[in-house]
């Protein structure tokens, strides 16, 4: 196990003095820099990535360091032209598309190309070249044709990957799988905290860069750059196309439309900080941005499935507290009206068998009424509850019950079947049937959707918050949650890892995998649980084992 760094509380505006370390770009092993040596330029030190696959195209991404001073967030360096190629073979003997893209300090030397004119349902290889130096090779795929009869879709599902809290072994194990069609990341891809601000049980395993909390455009760019030097993250980006949405930590903790819990007046104007976070995100991520700047978007996988990715931060009302606000106030929103209308019409208007929703915060209603007081503060921290309240998960859909009723009522009234919410955020594992309201489920057992929640890649969960050995105190809390929430079929509060979601015409199955030790860069992994929902059932059942 690596020697952890003691937690610190540096001034938020203290920067690391070494530009090479602060940029997170130059002092990397040659293996991370494609075919260039560690000292040479240009470098592709941040890997390659692809995302948002369509039947005829896919986004391709990289970042170049054309000169030594062109470190991430520096605003320095020349404008350069980067070549890109897409081929059907890893040796690039059969190049099917190619072109050039210009980048410079105005976009932090990132490159994002919408490669078009590709064949549907096809695997491709891609790479970039600058001044004769090539990047690593990435592998991607296009979506099937919209009306294709597709027999399967298999996605890795991940969330809450905190650099300071451990290593990304979950990504390494997913990258080693040859059976995936893509990766779904439902938020908290990176964290905003200063070095030492949020680690593993209060201990920083590997410090954030920059050392201050992210506030400026340069800060956000440098933090994105640091995360993309992780070898396991690079491997997974290079292996699969990603479907990605954000949650709060891509900005600041508990973000809402007009601010965030982790933003104070002394830190400057919130709108300026939000604009900086958004700009860096769209520069550094293989994500399409809508004409109006929106990130919510939809993808189709033949007739089998349609995936709606939500943005539950940009338009939401401020979270309630025990003394302020009513979760059921119809004037409060988590989606905003345009996104709600888009979501409802998409779910009821599609002919795809499965309606998958990439959902950054939990929609299943949860009561903590049967949970012992010794667990409430830690569970409240995970679930976004205000201290002293056990009625609602204030940062999730539980804190916006009018919107939830509108959406779930739409599913019921329009007889929409096979809606599956795929969620992260709460650093724990859940499988649940989603009722119109929790109380009615007690007497009729009816649900209108299902939800599978993946645990964190590294971020603290309940045993970490309580600072106890895993599977000791938390078992009692899980039992109490089952008693008070009959619609919850699985809950596990202690482990870190990832999930695999397998879709076929008969069912959607989710398998949970847990790493042995998030503090080890070579951690093993084990299969822990498998749940499935059958076509038309709206129920969640245990199944015997993982998909193979």
Q: Is the pLDDT of residue 442 over 90?
A: no
**Is residue 138 within a helix (H) or strand (E), and if so which, with residue range?**
strand 138-141
Average pLDDT over residues 188-194: 98
CA 263, CA 216: separation in Å to the nearest integer? 12
CA gyration radius for the chain?
A: 22
Predicted confidence band at 278 (pLDDT cuts at 50, 70, 90)? very high
Q: Is cis: bond before 42, omega within 30 of 0?
A: yes
Q: What's residue 98's pLDDT?
A: 98
Q: Work out the mean pLDDT of the chain and round it to a whole number.
A: 90
Q: What's residue 3's pLDDT?
A: 37
CA 317, CA 132: separation in Å to the nearest integer? 50
Q: What's residue 367's pLDDT?
A: 87
For the chain, which domains are there? 19-141 (2.60.40.380)
Q: What's residue 369's pLDDT?
A: 83
Q: What's residue 251's pLDDT?
A: 98
CA 514, CA 226: separation in Å to the nearest integer? 25
Q: What's residue 92's pLDDT?
A: 98
Give pLDDT tens digits for 288-327.
Answer: 999 999 999 999 999 999 999 999 999 999 999 877 889 9
CA 27, CA 20: separation in Å to the nearest integer? 6
Token pair in block for residue 215? 């506030």
pTM: 0.92
Predicted confidence band at 28 (pLDDT cuts at 50, 70, 90)? very low
CA 221, CA 233: separation in Å to the nearest integer? 17
DSSP for 389-438, written as a single string: --S--TTSGGG-HHHHHHHHHHHHHTT---EEEEE-SSSSEEEEEE-SSH
Q: At residue 331, what are phi and psi to the nearest 5 degrees?
A: -85, -10
Going by C-alpha positions, the residue among 284, 261, 254, 272 that lies closest to residue 216 is: 272
Pairing of strands 305-309, 354-359: parallel
Predicted confidence band at 41 (pLDDT cuts at 50, 70, 90)? low
Average pLDDT over residues 349-353: 98
Which has the minimum average pLDDT: 132-146, 260-274, 294-308, 316-330?
A: 316-330
Q: Is the pLDDT of residue 395 over 60?
A: yes
Q: Is cis: bond before 506, omega within 30 of 0?
A: no
Cβ atoms < 10 Å from Cβ of 286: 24
Q: What's residue 386's pLDDT?
A: 57
Let me know the angle formed at the C-alpha of 240 by 96 and 111, rounded to the nearest 5 degrees: 65
CA 261, CA 252: separation in Å to the nearest integer? 7
Q: What's residue 17's pLDDT?
A: 24
Q: What's residue 177's pLDDT?
A: 97
Which has the minimum average pLDDT: 86-95, 101-110, 468-477, 521-530?
A: 468-477
Q: What's residue 375's pLDDT?
A: 86
**Is residue 407 within a helix (H) or strand (E), and if so which, with residue range?**
helix 401-413
**With contact defined as beta carbons under 8 Å apart, do 246 and 313 qualify?**
yes
Predicted confidence band at 382 (pLDDT cuts at 50, 70, 90)? confident
Going by C-alpha positions, the residue among 537, 514, 522, 407 that lies closest to residue 463 is: 514
């Amino acid at each position: 196990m690596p020697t952890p760094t003691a937690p610190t509380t540096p001034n938020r505006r203290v920067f690391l003095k070494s530009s090479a370390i602060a940029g997170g770009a130059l002092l990397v092993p040659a293996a991370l820099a494609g075919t260039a040596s560690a000292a040479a330029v240009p470098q592709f030190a941040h890997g390659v990535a692809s995302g948002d696959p369509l039947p005829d195209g896919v986004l391709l991404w990289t970042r170049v360091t054309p000169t030594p001073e062109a470190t991430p967030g520096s605003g320095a360096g020349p404008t350069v032209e980067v070549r890109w190629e897409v081929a059907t073979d890893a040796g690039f003997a059969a190049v099917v598309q190619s072109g050039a893209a210009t980048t410079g300090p105005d976009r932090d030397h990132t490159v994002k190309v919408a490669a078009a004119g590709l064949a549907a349902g096809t695997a491709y290889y891609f790479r970039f070249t600058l001044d004769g130096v090539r990047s690593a090779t990435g592998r991607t795929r296009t979506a099937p044709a919209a009306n294709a009869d597709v027999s399967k879709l298999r996605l890795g599902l991940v969330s809450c990957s905190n650099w300071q809290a451990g290593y990304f072994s979950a990504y390494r194990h997913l990258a080693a799988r040859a059976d995936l069609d893509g990766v779904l990341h439902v938020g908290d891809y990176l964290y905003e905290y200063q070095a030492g601000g949020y680690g593993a049980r209060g201990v920083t395993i590997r410090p954030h860069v920059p050392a201050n909390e992210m506030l400026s455009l340069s800060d956000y760019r440098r933090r994105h750059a640091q995360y993309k030097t992780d070898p396991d993250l690079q491997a997974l980006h290079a292996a699969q196309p990603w479907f990605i949405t954000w949650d709060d930590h891509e900005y600041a903790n508990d973000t809402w439309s007009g601010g965030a819990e982790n933003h104070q007046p002394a830190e400057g104007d919130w709108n300026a900080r939000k604009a900086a976070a958004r700009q860096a995100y769209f520069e550094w991520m293989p994500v399409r941005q809508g004409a109006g700047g929106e990130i919510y978007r939809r993808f189709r996988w033949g007739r089998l499935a349609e995936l709606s990715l939500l943005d539950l931060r940009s338009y939401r009302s401020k979270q309630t507290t025990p003394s302020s606000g009513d979760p059921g106030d119809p004037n409060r929103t988590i989606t905003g009206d345009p996104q709600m209308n888009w979501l409802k019409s998409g779910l009821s208007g599609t002919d795809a068998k499965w309606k998958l929703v990439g959902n950054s915060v939990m929609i299943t209603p949860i009561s903590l009424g049967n949970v012992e007081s010794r667990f409430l503060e830690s569970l409240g921290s995970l679930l976004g509850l205000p201290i002293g309240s056990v009625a609602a998960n204030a940062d999730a859909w539980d804190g916006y019950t009018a919107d939830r009723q509108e959406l779930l009522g739409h599913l019921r009234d329009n007889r929409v079947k096979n809606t599956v919410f795929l969620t992260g955020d709460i650093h724990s594992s859940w499988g649940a049937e989603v009722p119109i309201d929790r109380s009615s489920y007690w007497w009729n057992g009816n649900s209108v959707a299902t939800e599978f929640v993946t645990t964190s890649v590294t971020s603290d969960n309940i045993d970490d918050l309580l600072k106890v050995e895993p599977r000791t105190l938390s078992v009692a809390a899980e039992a109490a949650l089952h008693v008070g929430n009959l619609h919850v079929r699985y809950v596990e509060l202690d482990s870190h890892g990832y999930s695999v979601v397998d879709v076929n015409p008969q069912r959607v199955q989710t398998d949970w995998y847990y790493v042995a030790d998030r503090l080890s860069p070579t951690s093993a992994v084990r299969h822990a649980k498998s749940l499935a929902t059958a076509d038309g059932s709206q129920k969640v059942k245990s199944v015997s084992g993982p998909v193979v």
